[in-house]
Amino acid sequence: MADAPRDYYGLLGVRKDATPEELKRAYRKLARELHPDVNPDPAAADRFKEVTAAYEVLSDPEKRRVVDLGGDPLSQGAAGGGAAGGFGGFGGFGDVFEAFFGNGGPMGGGRGRRSRVRPGADALLQLSLTLDETAFGVRRELAVETAVLCDTCHGQGCAPGTSPRTCATCGGAGEIQSVQRSFLGQVMTTRACSACGGTGEQIPSPCPTCGTEGRVRARRTKTVDVPAGIEHGMRIRLAGQGEVGPGGGPAGDLYIEISEQPHDTFTREGADLHCTIGVPMTSAALGSDLVLTTLDGEEKIEIRAGSQSGAVLHLRGKGVPKLRSSVRGDLYVHVEVRTPTRLDEEQERLLRQLADLRSEDVSVSSRNAGLFGKMRDAFRQ
């Protein structure tokens, strides 16, 4: 009875519809973990042979077709099959080196020609606003200094009337290859061309404005519409308004980070506002009306008779508008009853009279006052 075909997809840990790039990534990862030079475990060496054979099979379209039809191209008698666990046509062995050395490893296969044009970086700008501005929104003109496209060469990096030429050192490949001897015999190494920086092009006549960068730094003015309800630490994104990339590459984004200034009266928690008002002891006892200046103007507040410190008055809809919503938060007014610290004789007499009328004992018992209370009573005698 014939042995069941090996699960080559399972050996690499990929799906049956995996792309060639997915196969390569999976094999590189396993090769770095299982290679005998890295992992001395004998079981790892056997596993390394298996995954190498699996990658050799699945990276070959004809052999992969045999696998998908239920066959095993490395079994005895299979057409085009090699020794199980071997490296076959040397393609898999090259990927072993690529897994350790990258695209510029000893087996060649460098990264190829690099583009002079690269995307630009994002830029970040801080914007300080008051509570009223973050609550209701504001339009601001901001001075922004970033890299912009060079007007002289329009990103080409060349003097007007000239153009880049093919690098004479690498012939436009962007790479230099050399052959060296190693324990494997002669191997080819690939490195980026130092004459052109790997771009395959040289600029004989640099732009007089930007050199060869294709961009220059400049200050410009941007209009920013800050939406109502924005909070401290939030960012506004202006797409494509950041740094222009080298070679006139596409610009990154500009982010405006909001910094909300502390308010003299209110503290903010999301869309809600909090404030504390000091109420005289007599006003808290008798009740009174106070006027509080809110974000919308003056608001009359009723302090009910007998109000205590820590009481909270809730004013609905007097907070900050919620971001991108017509709904507003609330305002919470925290009451702090203030007891007078200094009384003249008449005020003290009246308060003692009030205490007598309310049958309140304002004296301090030496029995409960402790040592310091006893000392105080002794000095009063």
Q: Residue 158 annotated as binding?
A: no
Non-local (6+) Cβ contacts of 52 within 8 A are 27, 31, 85, 87, 92, 93, 96
Cross-strand pairs, 279: 337
Non-local (6+) Cβ contacts of 335 within 8 A are 276, 277, 279, 284, 303, 307, 308, 309, 310, 311, 312, 313
Q: Residue 153 annotated as binding?
A: yes
Which residue in this structure is represented by tokens 């801080």? 126
How far out from the chain centre does Cα 42 lie? 43
From CA 47, how far away is CA 29, in angstroms rounded? 13
**Is the alpha carbon torsion for 292, 295, 297, 300 positive or negative?**
negative
Q: Residue 196 annotated as binding?
A: yes
User: How many CB atoms neighbour CB 355 within 10 A?
Assistant: 13
C-alpha separations of 58 from 48, 50, 271, 324, 348 in Å: 15, 12, 58, 52, 98
Q: Which residues are annotated as a binding site?
A: 150, 153, 167, 170, 193, 196, 207, 210
Residue positions in the annotated binding site for Zn(2+)? 150, 153, 167, 170, 193, 196, 207, 210
